[in-house]
Amino acid sequence: MIYLDNAATSWPKPPEVLRGMTDALERSGGNPGRSGHRLSIEAARLIYDTRELLADFFNSGDPLGVIFAGNATHALNLAIYGLLRPGDRVVTTSMEHNSVMRPLRHLERKGVEVCIVPCARDGTVDPAQIAQVVTPGTRLVVSVYASNVVGTIMPVKEIAAIAHGAGALLLVDAAQAAGALPIDMQDAGIDLLAFTGHKALLGSPGIGGLVIRAGVDASQIEPLMRGGTGSQSEIEEHPDFLPDRFESGTPNLVGIASLKAGIEWLKEKGLDAVREHEKDLTRRLIEGLSDIPGLHVYGTLDAEKCVAIVSFTAEKKTVSEIGMRLDEEYGVLVRVGLHCAPAAHKTIGSFPEGTVRLAPGIFTTHTEVDIAVKAVAEVVKT
């Protein structure tokens, strides 16, 4: 089996991640912040250590601004619904995932002005076009860091400067970028970063978060949920301090442990080395697929300008048939369709059928990529 669906969920996980999850249950199995006994204290220590690790990994400047959530979708909803009110203006791009588009379309019906900047067919965006519509009074700018359809990396630092120049905050969807690219929130000017743990950060499903950069006024963000936090239990008003303001209920301790182990593994390997390996794989995929007659490969076709995601369509085969045959006949696992991003597919010209998406990961080999390319060539010609 050759697994090329890492953009959906990375697999396999490093053994250290599996051990970290087991250790969390065996050694830190208490409810953090809810008791004073040793297991509760150990669980709370594991969670805070992970906050510190993430704050350093993304250079956010404040561990207390690391808010744990179920996934990137949860984190994006926390920021979008927490910030936007009827009459506000929000600017985003045409390459966004439905985790951004659906909340914005819902708020649009409630009186939020939504402006979508069209991107080019390769998934790139011109910052000058963003600057034209990010007018004074714009409340929020939302941008994906790297497209989940074609992998294109956005000019986040330039977008941040434009947003800040108009007095707006920048929210970045880093679901595909976190763990695949070095991210420096303070240098890039990212105010709010949504991430998920189960993709390039190599953690388990069910964990993600919103990182609030130091200096951003979190009081302007309304909590998405309110409830038990283990703090200020003597009052019935929700706490207003971080991270409790945005975290209610028992946290996913096992997921947080997996995230901690995944990031530690990445730091030991070196993110630059991971990036170079995935660029090599991406380059190999782009070159191999581009040589197949009747195939159209989307995106910039430049491994330097994208994460490890390559999408294609074939002239005489549906994407569903290609995906099914790759799995059943060759053991190559890919994802086909619209990838929960219809706006992106409309932008690149692959709507409504979508594309076949190949997404190698850190454990993918050059040989596996070559086998996958050969399998695609055989499927589309027969």
Average pLDDT of span 8-35: 93
User: Whole-angstrom distance between the N-terminal and C-terminal Cα of the chain?
Assistant: 21
Mean pLDDT of the chain: 97
Taking only the tens place, the pLDDT of each residue in 42-89 is 999 999 999 999 999 999 999 999 999 999 999 999 999 999 999 999
* CATH pick for 2-10+270-381 out of 1.20.58.410, 3.90.1150.10, 3.40.50.150, 3.90.550.10: 3.90.1150.10
Taking only the tens place, the pLDDT of each residue in 94-140 is 999 999 999 999 999 999 999 999 999 999 999 999 999 999 999 99
Taking only the tens place, the pLDDT of each residue in 151-177 is 999 999 999 999 999 999 999 999 999
CA dist 228 and 230 (Å) reads: 6
CA dist 132 and 130 (Å) reads: 5
Cα four-point dihedral sign 311, 315, 321, 326: negative
CA dist 358 and 336 (Å) reads: 9
Ranges of each domain in the chain:
2-10+270-381, 15-268
Residue with tokens 């989307």: 298
Task: Give me the pLDDT at residue 36, please.
Answer: 84
35 or 257: which carries more pLDDT confidence? 257
Task: Give me the pLDDT at residue 343, please.
Answer: 98
CA angle 343/146/246 to nearest 5° reads: 90
* CATH pick for 15-268 out of 3.40.50.300, 1.10.620.20, 3.40.640.10, 1.10.150.120: 3.40.640.10
Taking only the tens place, the pLDDT of each residue in 211-255 is 999 999 999 999 999 999 988 899 999 999 999 999 999 999 999
Q: Does 15-268 match 2-10+270-381 at the fold level?
A: no
Structure tokens at 349: 């010209």
Catalytic residues: 340
Task: Give me the pLDDT at residue 382, please.
Answer: 83
Task: Give me the pLDDT at residue 186, please.
Answer: 98
Task: Give me the pLDDT at residue 35, please.
Answer: 81
pLDDT at residue 194 greater than cutoff 90? yes
Backbone angles phi, psi at 243, to 5 degrees: -90, -5
**Amino acid letter, 57:** F
Number of C-beta neighbours around residue 25 at 10 A: 11
> Which pLDDT band holds residue 150 (cuts at 50, 70, 90)?
very high
Alpha helices in the chain (DSSP H): 15-27, 38-57, 72-83, 98-108, 127-133, 156-165, 185-188, 253-269, 271-290, 319-330, 342-348, 366-381
Task: Give the distance, in angstroms, between the CA of residue 5 and the centroid of all CA atoms in the same chain.
Answer: 14
